[in-house]
Amino acid sequence: MHPGVYIYFNMFPPPSAIKAAENLGFPYIQDVNSSDTHVLGMANMSYTMDERGYRNDTASAFLPPSLVKTRKNNLNISTGALVTKILFSSDNLSSRPRAVGVQVESADGPSNKREIMVNKEIILCAGAIGSPQLLLLSFSHKAKENGSSSGIGPKDHLSKMNIKVVKDLPGVGNHMQDHFGIPVIFEIPLNDSIIVLQKRPLTAIKEIFKFLISGQGLLTSPIHELSIFAQSHSLTADFANAKSGDKLDWTDSSNIPDLEIMTIAVGETDLSKMNKDTGDGGFGLWTGVVQPFSRGYVRLKSIDPRIAPSCDLNFLGDSRDREAAYAGISLSMRLKEEIAKLGYPITDVAVPKSLDPADLDAHITAQGLTLYHYSSSCRMAPEDDPLPGVVDDELKVHGIDGLRIADASIFPNVLATHLQAAVVAVAEKCADMVLNEASS
């Protein structure tokens, strides 16, 4: 976040939610990124903001127009373009294939297609879904001459799709992970919910002007302001041992939280589902299972790159993840009870009928959803690892020259946090390695 930027924290959720968490043994952490902080507790989230108070994306931060102009002789940015294939110099398994270019379609469609060749290397940054898809759709020049396809990935899947194997890499598209989210939803006073902007048009107009004039007000408040981090295995009926010292040491990997409880200022992600006929606002406590054992996969549906691949995230496929989800929902309901004990008006909207496994399962089926933290489908690990890797510790694809991957797909396991900052760190590390190698 840019120094001096105004963010309207402690509006959503109401202070009673913070007090309720403290009563249950979750201390407020001033700096969640500090190296000496406890692993258990609650903290405000960090956001990337510019000096004007606007959300700042990576394009704006790393490629502002002023920088692009100074590099126009060696930087070409193609927006709306679709990379359809990675091109290789060989499809002969007796020699080591080398990535030599990419096939690209412009935003106009397949009729406007070209090949872009490289002198040194290609860095694949298509994400945990797109990167494995492109590897599976890799294309050798010899295959092109024969009118056939070739790819990098599990040979059984490639053979099933009638794709010639450039490199048998079983890890490509496997071990896909994500954080699974399960909300419990409540109604609260309208003034304590950002839905006030939807239900009171005059308030919305006032807040728009406040933001445009001074950069302050409700429009600077993040919809997800606060998170509580917990360990499902340490939660007891009264949550007492959550405070014990041996559970707070961040240097012990077994203490890394596997649950995140997020306060969401609207309740429903789809605002149209909220009851507009009442004067109530929405509020949600969302359980995130952030250290899942379950793993899914990415597979091709078609050799047409315009057709999205098949993705099975296998949420809660491992029973340990389901137990963690149960613990997270139970903690959310306990937080709600504690909020009510403090005298704050809060009413159930979408909650489990009880905390019995059958009712929890029914709630999970009705409300569970992705948290969009797709990861680990081209994981960093040795090629012969029990969970086979796709890239080495320099982000280079095993057995392929001239090709690296730099996105969330390379994480060995999904991180127990939101992935944005870590993905940027991977990109910066990749840039350093490329520059160091070029200068050596």
- Look at residue 132 in the predicted model and tell me its pLDDT: 97
Is residue 229 scored above 60 in pLDDT?
A: yes
Told to judge if 157 belongs to the known catalytic residues of this protein, a careful annotator would answer no
Interatomic CA distance for residues 330 and 68, integer angstroms: 50
Radius of gyration, alpha carbons of the chain: 24
Quote the percentage of the chain above a pLDDT of 90: 53
**Token match 């012990």: residue?**
252
Q: What is the mean pLDDT of residues 249-257?
A: 79
Residue 158 CB partners (closer than 8 Å, separation 6+): 136, 151, 164, 165
Arithmetic mean of pLDDT over the chain:
86
- 382 phi/psi in degrees, rounded to 5: -60, 150
- 23 phi/psi in degrees, rounded to 5: -65, -30
Neighbours of 169 (CB within 10 A): 28
- The mean-pLDDT minimum among 6-15, 46-55, 69-78, 393-402 falls in 6-15
Give 222 or 332, the one with higher predicted confidence. Answer: 332
Superfamily of domain 15-58+177-370: Glucose Oxidase, domain 3 (3.30.560.10)
Is residue 106 scored above 80 in pLDDT?
A: yes
pLDDT band at 13 (very low <50, low <70, confident <90, very high): low
- Look at residue 159 in the predicted model and tell me its pLDDT: 92
Q: What is the mean pLDDT of residues 364-383?
A: 96
- The mean-pLDDT minimum among 87-96, 186-195, 335-344 falls in 87-96
Contact 391, 380 (CB under 8 A): yes
- Look at residue 2 in the predicted model and tell me its pLDDT: 46
Interatomic CA distance for residues 344 and 156, integer angstroms: 58
- Look at residue 247 in the predicted model and tell me its pLDDT: 64
Is residue 224 scored above 60 in pLDDT?
A: yes
Contact 155, 115 (CB under 8 A): no
Q: What is the mean pLDDT of residues 91-120?
A: 81
Residue pLDDT, tens place only, 294-326: 999 999 999 988 899 999 999 999 999 999 999
Taking phi first (over 0 means left), then psi (-120 to 50 degrees means alpha), and beta for anything else, what does residue 141 get? alpha
Told to judge if 363 belongs to the known catalytic residues of this protein, a careful annotator would answer no
Interatomic CA distance for residues 338 and 260, integer angstroms: 18
- Look at residue 378 in the predicted model and tell me its pLDDT: 98
Q: Is 104 annotated as a binding residue?
A: no
pLDDT band at 1 (very low <50, low <70, confident <90, very high): very low
Buried b or exposed e, range 318-345, using 16+ CB within 10 angstroms: eebbbbbbbbbbbbbbbbbebbeeeebe
Considering the candidates 38, 157, 175, 373, report the single residue annotated as catalytic. Answer: 373
Interatomic CA distance for residues 297 and 294, integer angstroms: 10
Look up residue 24 and give its DSSP letter.
Answer: T
Beta-bridge mates of residue 185: 284, 350
- Look at residue 267 in the predicted model and tell me its pLDDT: 62
Is residue 169 scored above 90 in pLDDT?
A: yes
Is residue 272 scored above 60 in pLDDT?
A: no
Residue pLDDT, tens place only, 189-207: 888 888 888 889 999 999 9
- The mean-pLDDT minimum among 95-99, 361-365, 399-403 falls in 95-99
Largest CA distance in the chain: 74
Residue pLDDT, tens place only, 283-296: 899 999 999 999 99
CA neighbor of 402 nearest in space, from 217, 173, 166, 128: 166
Burial of 108 per CB tally in 10 Å (0-12, 13-18, 19+): exposed
Length of the chain: 440
Amino acid at 242: A
**Cis status, amide bond into 189, omega within 30 of 0:** no
- Look at residue 90 in the predicted model and tell me its pLDDT: 61
Is residue 4 scored above 80 in pLDDT?
A: no
Is residue 113 scored above 70 in pLDDT?
A: yes
Contact 141, 154 (CB under 8 A): no
Listed by start position, the domains of the chain span 15-58+177-370
Quote the percentage of the chain above a pLDDT of 70: 87
pLDDT band at 357 (very low <50, low <70, confident <90, very high): very high
Amino acid at 326: Y
